[in-house]
Structure 1
């Protein structure tokens, strides 16, 4: 009987341990990026912000254009997996690539900020691979040798807040990994090159995954802003709907466009003021893949191209 009681207590302890570990919102990663990614936060129920993701470019002497594409697509996959954002497929048509933004010193983002806001974009993510390299060490004794490869990457990621018309985040993320394999010293050259490319791609993906938590933290501080796309009679059409997380019955405040504020001494733009609240509308219906229809709930006149936010 005593043995049975001890057994039941042990089983109960293990069950509680498993339940507690499963309830954690995130999973920590080791320096090599080999543990699972940050899990999706289960309690998110807000409106999804629209992200303009510009193609990353590679400044390192290794990997070529392929590494920039790898970084961009990994970021897209991670963001889509979270379910808290909508990646704008037309972003590159508005802003171009990350390389173009860097070449212009970021001025292009400021110039196109209003166009992006009208398109419903909330923030722009762009960046570059500053460095990516791979090193190998091998035991030369015998026909079979052990080769150990070390790969590292350094990626710079920036965020431009469209509504505030300014850059709000920049960070450099480093990642490294290593791998071990046995190779015949007369091994196929093409296979070795492909192996090196795969390892470089992997370490770039690790760096991107390490950045996602920071992107989430920054995005939480940025406002979601939508737009009045059309007014037909008493029906007010909004450029965000079911896919963006808008719900029937939501109350949105309608705002006029804010004013750009400049430093009188330097002439540099500090940011954009909050626009005047003109009234509120209530969402009553959806239309299209991601649009909503509202009715005037309170306040005065609403115009096309006015901006909306959750009340």
Structure 2
């Protein structure tokens, strides 16, 4: 009975292996993707990213720089934003914005619109610390480190002239390491700083899905930079994601609406549509040439939106 059973099992095993899908790998041993990566095909929004600051007593301003650069990398990886270093200089640092209660953002809004900035991202490290617990006895001690960071991120929409997003994100990490009892102080300090940098990055990365959700609700807005003859030059082009044949609507600048009792800014009205422009060519890395598609009386400085 057994001698007949073994060949049958061998046949079943062989047939199953033939039916199973073949795992294809490239020269480096990587598996082929079953689905292609999704690439962003819309128009990218221009972001002014202000340098974060660290108000906790640990980690120094190095953590502010780490948070800023990590957020810059993560935003650029999405393919949905152009992080413009020149535009950030209009507003200064995050610390300046906080110290002035956000009034500087309101003051610089008109100039930022001229630069084509869609929104401003700024923030701070509220808390950063490392706690350690080690054995009391022994030449070689087992030490467990617990690190945490709390980062606040805010987004100011230039076009609506108001803050549209604020969130506080926590990052945690713990690590087991063995250290000699008489380890030098410099290596301990570097070790703690590396942990603080890591949890700061963890906190920042958590914000990306929420920032994407917020950005999707905002309209992309560009400007008419120059008009020469029949050519209308737009301050966005190939790098921003515009395509030849895109039709843009030209709108006037909205009017600020204030509360008659408190004097506080309520919002900005929608501008009036003056006409449409068709993109016919690109100029430079990120500018385009359009011609009047419908309507008229287009002027330099007018706003353009996707039709």
Normalised by the size of structure 2, how large is the TM-score?
0.91
Paired residue secondary structure (2:61): helix
Paired residue secondary structure (2:163): strand
What is the aligned partner in structure 2 of residue 186 from structure 1? 182
How far apart in 1 are the matches of 2:23 and 2:257? 59
Paired residue secondary structure (2:199): helix
What is the aligned partner in structure 2 of residue 28 from structure 1? none
What is the aligned partner in structure 2 of residue 7 from structure 1? 17
What is the aligned partner in structure 2 of residue 126 from structure 1? 122
Change (3 A) 1:22 1:203: farther
What is the aligned partner in structure 2 of residue 248 from structure 1? 244
How far apart in 2 are the matches of 1:92 and 1:296? 32
From 195, 200, 212, the equivalent of 1:199 is 195
What is the aligned partner in structure 2 of residue 301 from structure 1? 297
Structure number with larger C-alpha Rg: 2
Alpha-carbon offset, residue 90 of structure 1: 1.1
What is the aligned partner in structure 2 of residue 106 from structure 1? 102
Alpha-carbon offset, residue 14 of structure 1: 8.3
Aligned pairs, how many? Answer: 292
How far apart in 1 are the matches of 2:125 and 2:43? 31
Kindly indicate whether the alpha-carbon contact (under 8 Å) linking 1:54 and 1:91 is maintained by their aligned counterparts in 2: no
Name stretches of at least 5 consecutive residues in structure 2 with no aligned partner. 1-10, 25-30
From 26, 49, 54, the equivalent of 2:45 is 49
From 144, 147, 151, the equivalent of 1:151 is 147
Kindly indicate whether the alpha-carbon contact (under 8 Å) linking 2:87 and 2:115 is maintained by their aligned counterparts in 1: no
How far apart in 2 are the matches of 1:165 and 1:178? 41
How far apart in 2 are the matches of 1:250 and 1:4? 57
Alpha-carbon offset, residue 100 of structure 1: 0.7
How far apart in 2 are the matches of 1:180 and 1:275? 59
Which string of whole-angstrom CA distances, capped at 9 and with x for unpartnered residues, describes residues 257-301 of structure 1?
Answer: 111111122211111111000000111111112100000010011
Alpha-carbon offset, residue 8 of structure 1: 3.8
How far apart in 2 are the matches of 1:133 and 1:163? 37
Alpha-carbon offset, residue 5 of structure 1: 2.6
How far apart in 2 are the matches of 1:22 and 1:184? 49
Change (3 A) 1:22 1:146: farther
Which string of whole-angstrom CA distances, capped at 9 and with x for unpartnered residues, describes residues 41-67 of structure 1?
Answer: 714200000000000000100011111
Paired residue secondary structure (1:90): helix
What is the aligned partner in structure 2 of residue 79 from structure 1? 75
Cα RMSD (Å) of the superposition?
1.9
Kindly indicate whether the alpha-carbon contact (under 8 Å) linking 2:236 and 2:287 is maintained by their aligned counterparts in 1: yes
Paired residue secondary structure (2:173): strand
